[in-house]
């Protein structure tokens, strides 16, 4: 996937947030992965219908602008819900730095997405979270990745 192709970002926005601290939980890594995956599934449950409804409601807005708005107003809140759920779980002992890195990469994607003015295709949405997806997949959190494959 080509990231950013055709997307315009407002460079006047503040720099991405720096990291997010997490507490240590008593969960094993396996239990953490299971619960985080369930939380991500719950957060995403209505994303496609919400994106469709948003597009229908705003069909008078030029498509490139409407897609950027939909990314900010529908897709980003889902990622924020996922991040909040992961943070609430707390990191398995010894994995705090990895979970903090995942959350920081997610926040960077959110910050980039919030600066968008235009997007040529909804297929670009996941590209803003490539760095986070790499970290999610490396940790075993495929259920929270935005990758389709």
Residue-wise pLDDT for 70-99, tens only, equals 888 998 999 999 999 999 999 999 999 999
Q: Are 1 and 121 in contact (CB under 8 A)?
A: no
Tell me, what's the pLDDT at 49? 92
Confidence check: pLDDT of 123 > 90: no
Q: Are 1 and 123 in contact (CB under 8 A)?
A: yes
Q: Residue 132 — pLDDT band, cuts 50, 70, 90?
A: very high
Tell me the pLDDT tens digit for each residue of 8-32.
444 333 333 444 689 999 999 999 9
> When comparing pLDDT for 67 and 90, which is higher?
90
What's the predicted TM-score (pTM) here?
0.79
- Report phi then psi at 122, rounded to 5: -65, -20
Find the mean pLDDT for residues 48-71.
89
Instruction: Report the residue count for the chain.
Output: 149
Tell me, what's the pLDDT at 148? 55
Lowest mean pLDDT among 16-25, 30-39, 62-71: 16-25
**CA-atom Rg of the chain in angstroms:** 16
Find the mean pLDDT for residues 45-70.
89
Do the bridges between strand 8-9 and strand 116-118 make them parallel or antiparallel, or are there none, so unpaired? antiparallel
Q: Measured between alpha carbons, how far is residue 128 from residues 2, 61, 71, 75 in Å?
A: 10, 22, 10, 11
């Amino acid at each position: 996937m080509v990231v950013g192709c055709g997307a315009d970002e407002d460079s006047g926005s503040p720099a991405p947030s720096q990291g997010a601290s997490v507490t240590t939980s008593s969960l094993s890594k396996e239990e953490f992965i299971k619960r985080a995956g369930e939380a991500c599934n719950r957060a995403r449950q209505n994303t496609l219908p919400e994106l469709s409804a948003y597009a229908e409601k705003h069909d008078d807005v030029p498509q490139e602008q409407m897609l950027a708005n939909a990314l900010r107003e529908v897709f980003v809140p889902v990622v924020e819900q996922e991040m909040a759920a992961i943070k609430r779980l707390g990191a398995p002992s010894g994995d705090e730095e990895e979970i903090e890195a995942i959350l920081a990469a997610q926040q960077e994607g959110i910050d980039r997405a919030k600066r968008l003015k235009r997007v040529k295709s909804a297929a670009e949405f996941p590209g803003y979270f490539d760095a986070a997806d790499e970290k999610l997949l490396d940790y075993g959190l495929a259920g929270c990745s935005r990758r389709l494959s």
